[in-house]
Structure 1
Amino acid sequence: MNSLKPWLSRSSQLKPATEGAAPSGGRAAATFAARLTFEGVTRRYGETTALAGVDLDIAPAEVVCLLGPSGCGKTTLLRIAAGIEKPSEGRVLINDREVAGPSCFVAPEHRSVGLMFQDFALFPHLTILGNVAFGLKGLPRDEARREALKALARVGLENTADEYPHILSGGQQQRVALARAIVPRPAVMLMDEPFSGLDVQLREAMQEETMGLLRETRATSVIVTHDPEEAMRLGDRIAVMTRGAVVQAGSAEDLYHQPAGLFVARLFSEINEITYPVVGGKVATPFATLPAPGLSDGASAIVCVRERGITLSQDGPGLAGRVLDVKFLGDVARLEVGIEGFDKPLKVRVRELEGWKRGAEVRAEIDPGRVLVFPGEA
């Protein structure tokens, strides 16, 4: 992470690729959103492959969240986009201009890319104003001060201009880091888990403020997160990564309703997983016979029943069951329900107001249209 800090303020200073390079330390006259494209990007460290042929095209002014577990390659992809690292194979293009590839490498300061990371990396020996103006050294001092004050005003901290970072709260430091990143008006903004160090209430407030500012500046944005809910809240699209590859990219609705595999389904839903054999291209469950396309007879299939896809009633249709446990989770309750035909209890999420108690006899309906079927895991 420390190797990224020198670029926090320098790498986002220059004009978009379509306008050519500006002098080092300068500032683009305005934000022009740029298309960011990864073509077959691979990154190896010795025998270890961090990225395995990533293909991703991000439209101008689009906000894309990179979602996945630690170590899946999200930060490495950001470092390559910024120019801090070079790809072992593949190309990176900004506005269809190659900035990294087999025979081309554009320095970070000529890419019009802004960076913001979770530790904020503010300079403790500089004032708040000095931190924000750090990336504007190519401007006359008075003009740099005016631009920095405008950026601070946009995040509501102009009254702290002459203070030092140590007096600020975590949320205020995050705002300063954001002001510093946007003041050069980059065409592309890269953010690596920028909200992970904040408490829940502050995190949501800062997410709203940050997204408002990104929409206003129209910078093409890539936000790294390991939180699916955060990704759904922030991104126009979400690119799910695992083991150095993008396994699915699309809207939150696409990933929720049509996950490409079990890994994606687990990210976006609380699910019950039950294994059944495939017979005649189908799996027989206690509630319905489901199609298992692409699976051969005798193979195992994992049937995924969403916790919210089970409806309970006292006297309605469905399978007989009994509530074995109840966990209060605020507006919802998570029940453990033994249901006729299933070898183990299923988890069910219901509105807390429904008031189910342990030991209650129930009827359980499962909507086959909300059930997912995937190949069994090796």
Structure 2
Amino acid sequence: MTPNQPPALELDRISRWLGGRQILSDITVSIPTGKISCLLGQSGCGKSTLLRLISGVDRPDGGRIRMDGQEIVGDGSFVEPESRNIGFMFQDYALFPHISVAANLAFGLRGMSKAEQQKRVNEVVDGIGIRHLVDRFPHSLSGGEQQRVALARALAPKPAVLLMDEPFSNLDQGLRERVRKETVETLRKLGTTAIIVTHDPQEALAVGDLIILMREGKIEQIGSPFDIYDHPVSPYAAEFMGPCNRLTGIFARGQIETPIGKFQANLNLPDGALAVACIRPQALTIESAGDGIAARILAKSFLGESEQIDISVHPLAQPLRVHSHQRIPMAVGQQVSLHLNHAEIHVFADAVVPV
């Protein structure tokens, strides 16, 4: 996006109520042109509702939506879905079972002549690499093939914005990663502005240029994958983006003091206030008993690329979890020494966060 180019999409204080319950509250965000943005959050946080408002199949109770600087939803204005130039790729793909792949791709091009339709279908087929599928019917396709056809159909009308609701959730793990990689490569090659809904933080980190983390109908944090993972704004954001060991401590003179050490804390709190340290499992390392914090191994799980170790540290009531990419020779029950990498420790004012 150039400095003078407006965002592809702007949401300004969007709210939505359903059945007497507020589903979305004061959603304000700008979607950059030509980038992949991920709407991330738990089921029920309002992600899919927000997609429906953007696409036009539902209306907000308050706020404005602009596309390329032009208002499409606001006080007294509402552009119908078919006039928004927004593509939608459904979670279940929603391919028409009774017509061929080629006919599925041409379905959204009905305003064109037959020759124009065929030309555009050929462009999309060759661009996504599904020429060998055009004469087949959806029931004969694998899950990955159906996903690619659904993507091609959504891209065929050249939408200004493509909305994708959990597009990889129906695929097995190995296939999911491959199809996701191919999809992202296609979107980037075409310069498509895409909004992908996902509940999987690892997926959002892997594909998003921008991550919009939602919580109970509100935006918790917006930023790049590195920003959100490395600089979470709350314990909720830290724990949602990856496992954390949570320790409560006392704040004093710019530090939080916990049973396993003191950590720098840039917090506006009075001395003596409670604070929380969220410590990534990879920030902890263990060695044979010696220098460091005395600990004992409670359990070990081999995960292939890494090893997960649960340790007890006096006087903590709950064990700490360690992730190590090196083999840990010490056995369950053995005494060890705990060491900390302070780079992956996030400190916040104390707050009760639902798990």
The TM-score normalised by the length of structure 1 is: 0.86
Shift of 1:284: 1.9
1:160: which partner in 2?
A: 133
Aligned-partner Cα distance in 2 for 1:377–1:336 = 25
**Percent identity among equivalent residues?**
38
Shift of 1:77: 1.0
Deviations 1:284-325 (A, max 9, x none): 223332355233455432222211101112256311222121
- Where do 1:307-318 residues align within 5 Å? 307-314=281-288, 317-318=291-292
Aligned-partner Cα distance in 1 for 2:98–2:268 = 62
- Where do 1:235-314 residues align within 5 Å? 235-278=208-251, 282-292=255-265, 293-296=267-270, 299-314=273-288
Shift of 1:192: 0.7
User: What SS is found at the alignment partner of 1:85?
Assistant: coil
* RMSD, aligned CA: 2.0
For the structure 1 residues 35 and 316, does the alpha-carbon distance in structure 2 shift closer, same or farther, using more than 3 Å as the test?
A: farther
Aligned-partner Cα distance in 2 for 1:84–1:285 = 51
2:145: which partner in 1?
A: 172
CA contact (8 A) 2:288 2:330 kept: no
CA contact (8 A) 1:133 1:145 kept: yes
The TM-score normalised by the length of structure 2 is: 0.92
User: What SS is found at the alignment partner of 2:25?
Assistant: strand
Aligned-partner Cα distance in 1 for 2:247–2:68 = 47
The alignment status of 1:88 with 2:61, answered yes or no, reads yes
Deviations 1:245-285 (A, max 9, x none): 11110011111111010111011221111223445664322
Aligned-partner Cα distance in 1 for 2:212–2:324 = 30
- State which of 157, 164, 174 in structure 2 corresponds to 1:191: 164
Structure 2 spans left out of the alignment, 5+ residues: none
- Where do 1:109-258 residues align within 5 Å? 109-258=82-231
Aligned-partner Cα distance in 1 for 2:224–2:23 = 25
Aligned-partner Cα distance in 2 for 1:317–1:95 = 60
Aligned-partner Cα distance in 1 for 2:51–2:283 = 37
Name whichever of 95-104 and 212-221 sits farther off: 212-221
- State which of 321, 338, 345 in structure 1 corresponds to 2:319: 345
Aligned-partner Cα distance in 2 for 1:162–1:182 = 19
Shift of 1:160: 2.2
Structure 1 spans left out of the alignment, 5+ residues: 1-31
1:59: which partner in 2?
A: 32
Name whichever of 323-332 and 89-98 sits farther off: 323-332
Aligned-partner Cα distance in 2 for 1:33–1:332 = 44
- Where do 1:31-70 residues align within 5 Å? 35-70=8-43
Aligned-partner Cα distance in 2 for 1:144–1:215 = 24
Aligned-partner Cα distance in 1 for 2:123–2:71 = 33
Aligned-partner Cα distance in 1 for 2:20–2:202 = 34
